[in-house]
Amino acid sequence: MNKTIDQKLYSLVQISQQKLLTILERIVGFKDLIIDDCLMKPLERIVGASKLRSKGIDKMYKLNSDNLPLTNPERVFLINANLKTVKQVCDRINSELSSEMGADTARSEGALAGMHQFV
């Protein structure tokens, strides 16, 4: 049976959606989603905000926002895989951990334990 290009694209969207939702399910509790600007529209095509919320996404922020009012201890970064963006995320995490270390070292260790990496 030959699938049309539309059927193949639909299948790809369904697979991508399921993989993302499975990753989000593995991170327990409410979480903030910090997303790279260039991935906002592609994400909208794959999964809607209501499905993201059903998997624990509480708030969504653009990565380039200067001062993120992060509300949850769990954060999911959805970024483009390029060195500049990865460095930006690492700098943001290091900055947050540094400020927490000054306030409470034990809390910082908890923040490190809460970080997840998915490929």
The CATH number linked to 70 is 3.40.50.2060
List, for residues 94-105, the tens digit of each pLDDT value.
988 888 777 655
Q: What is the pTM of this model?
A: 0.75
Q: Which amino acid is at 71?
A: T
List, for residues 14-39, the tens digit of each pLDDT value.
999 999 999 999 999 999 999 999 99
Q: Is 34 left (phi over 0), alpha (psi -120 to 50) or beta?
A: beta
Residue 91 domain-assigned (yes or no) = yes
**What's the start-to-end Cα distance of the chain, in Å?**
32
Question: What does the block give as tokens for 69?
Answer: 């009012």
Rounded to an integer, what distance in angstroms lies between the CA atom of residue 73 and that of residue 107? 10
Residue 37 domain-assigned (yes or no) = yes
Please tell me the predicted confidence (pLDDT) of residue 103.
62
112 CB-near residues (< 8 Å, 6+ apart): 97
